[in-house]
Chains A and B, each alone.
Chain A
Amino acid sequence: MTNKVDIIAEGEGELLGWRDPDENRAWIRENKPRGLVDKQMSVTKAVEKFVKDGDYLAFGGFGHIRVPMALVYEIIRQGRRNLAIAGKTAVHDIDILIGAGCVSKVECAYAFGHELRGLSNAGRRAVESGAVEVVAEISNASYQWRFLAAMMGIPFIPVRNMMGTDTFTKSSAKQMTDPWSGKTVTLLPAAYPDVALFHVPCCDKYGNASIDGIIVEDFELARASRRVIITTEEIVDEEETRRNPRGTVIPFYVVDAVCEVPYGAHPTEMPYRYFFDEQHIYEWLALSKTEEGAKEYYDKYVFGVKDFDEYLEKIGGLNMLNQLKKVEQLRMPMGDVQSNQAE
């Protein structure tokens, strides 16, 4: 009665994170508790428990915004290897992970750059030397639509971009004729990351998380991923969640770990709370020009501190964090930030 669908074109990129929808449904049924369970744990424990060598990871936020840096540092500290990273506009997180040797594959919408700040030294060096392989290209819109398909439990989603370009040719997408309009559409395969990691302003102990300001693609990514780790500026009472239910961007049933980490996005920006630490970002950009420099950075800020609190002391402590708060709240110009970094 019906014809087999004709595939017009196929991208040659590696298909990362795809799963049969029924297999994933069964996995969710078995592994994601629907009851309210206290999921508070330390960052160390969360990474030990949920991030494994070879996993396909995606980080929440965008570029230098709301990136779960305490988790990034912990992944480096625990020496994870052969990670595949979603370059869903991944900037500081992916650069630092690549420099530390944690990454072997990237699916790239945007990576290896720091927007206006320039190109990534560590990331580019690794790709140009072959140490890290870009296994597929994609665009920003398409990446988050891969997560949208996954969160809906559908195997793919049709879209109208990427046709006619090498971004398509090197992607894991396909093209077919839309049976209604007769036009060619791009089919994006669902992407189910092994772990998605987020930093949020507020979350209760069960994992109901709110986000202030833009959500980027965290709504879709959290629901698409098998495991979800959340670090939060503060743990709030369940009553807080129930008082403003519209504020819940990530619901508890997709969340596996909740870790209270004030300033856990430093040196990236936390909307309304603290601005980018430009000096720290530039310190990384300068040091990462060489492998020796990058090692110096990790020795100082990752391996040379026992935990994130000690890291915060090292980047300038309360004095620096208060300045970043004033800049974020437009009470002080960025250029006036004074370093008082402990040596």
Chain B
Amino acid sequence: MNTSTQVEYTLTELQSCVASHILEDNQSVFVGTGCPLVATMLAQRTHAPNLLIIFEAGGMGPQVPELPISVGDSRTFYKAIAASSMHDVMAAGQAGYIDYGFLGAAAIDMYGNLNTTVIGDWKTPKVRLPGSGGANDVGSFCWRTIYNLRNQSKRTFVKELDFITTPGYLDGTGAREKAGLPTGCGPYRVITQLGVYGFDEATKRLMLISIHPRVTLDEIQDNSDFEILIPEDVPVTAIPTDEERRILREIDPTGRVIDK
């Protein structure tokens, strides 16, 4: 099945391609900087030319000329359809206009809840992280949220989070709706250095859906503190094609993001 080049691809190239394949044409996506934006631009330049990019600080539908450094920098509204406001963007999300959202995190639990606030106790943290930012909003409002996590391990895939910054499926089926969050949305895919995960329909628990080349099922489970649901016959993740890698290089010529 490996029709691609023998030259090694980077983890970000792989994750960008996986994320890009998830996105659909004529849909909207809420992005930050880094890998998610690279994935979004790749989708735009391949199968989804009419993907609507939305940035939380107000950039809507830009033709991004080069990779922005910040989710508010002027590259996020270059030749855009609107240079708007956070209220406008977040209200659009709350009203149901945003299909996909991307998030990263320091830690995740089996229901896809995320921590980006503190390691340790909230009052006297061992490590203070930046906090929610727009993450809680993305996780609450976007129809489907995609997580990009680079360091799956027992420390990051945890049984219990020190702090739930952003809602996944909370404590299982129906919990989001019961809590009052908008109906019918939530985490959709989790992409790590080892594999791609979704959520089991019945239990809303994390479930493996594809495994990256040269990774074993034991590695998937050994790098998680909670039990990952593993179905029979898990396919291998499609690796970046030569064409995709060429486009990625166009998007990020200095390799600032994709060389990682």
Show the binding face of A for B, using Cβ within 8 Å.
61-65, 87, 89, 108-113, 115-117, 119, 123-124, 127-128, 130, 134, 137-142, 144-145, 148, 159-167, 170, 175, 183-186, 213-220, 269, 271-272, 276, 328, 330, 335
Contact = CB atoms under 8 A, between A and B. Distances in A.
Contact of B135 (A115, A127, A139): A139
B85 A170 contact: no
Given A183-B180, A214-B72, A112 B86 contact: no
Contact of A109 (B59, B85, B131, B164): B131
A276 B73 CA distance: 9
Contact of A214 (B66, B77, B126): B77
Interface residues of B, number: 57
List the 4 closest A-B pairs by CB distance, nearest first. A184-B180, A214-B58, A113-B130, A110-B133
Contacts of B141: 141, 160-161
Contacts of B132: 109-110, 137-140, 167
B14 interface: no
A291 to B, nearest CB: 17
Nearest to A220: B87
A87 B128 CA distance: 14
Nearest to A66: B72
B165 interface: yes
Given A166-B165, A214-B85, A128 B57 contact: no
Interface stretch (B117-125, B206-214, B233-241): B117-125
A165 B136 contact: yes
B65 interface: yes
The listed residue with most B CB atoms (<10 A of its CB), out of A117, A119, A216, is A216
Contact of A139 (B73, B137, B175, B179): B137
A216 B58 contact: yes
Contact of A116 (B33, B130, B136): B33
B129 A148 contact: no
A128 B127 contact: yes
A160 to B, nearest CB: 6
Nearest to A8: B180
B74 interface: yes
Interface string B129-173: 111111111001100000000000000000000011111001000
B108 to A, nearest CB: 13
A324 to B, nearest CB: 12
Interface of B: 33-34, 55-59, 65-66, 69-74, 76-77, 83-87, 90, 93-94, 113, 117, 122, 124-137, 140-141, 163-167, 170, 175-176, 179-182, 254
Contacts of B94: 141, 159-161
Contacts of B56: 140
A162 B73 contact: no
Nearest to B74: A271
A163 B180 contact: yes
A219 B164 contact: no
Given A113-B130, A160-B182, A216-B72, A144 B90 contact: yes
Nearest to A176: B180
Given A159-B94, A166-B165, 4 more contacts: A112-B130, A141-B86, A220-B85, A271-B77
A272 B127 CA distance: 37
Contact of B181 (A61, A63, A161): A161
Contacts of A335: 254
Contact of B179 (A62, A128, A164, A272): A164
Contact of B59 (A111, A112, A214): A214
22 contacts: A62-B70, A65-B74, A87-B131, A108-B130, A124-B127, A127-B125, A128-B128, A139-B133, A141-B137, A145-B87, A160-B140, A163-B179, A164-B164, A165-B167, A166-B117, A186-B180, A214-B58, A217-B86, A220-B87, A271-B74, A276-B73, A335-B254
Nearest to B165: A167
Nearest to A140: B134
Given A160-B182, A165-B165, A216-B58, A115 B69 contact: yes
A180 to B, nearest CB: 13
A61 B74 CA distance: 12
A205 to B, nearest CB: 26
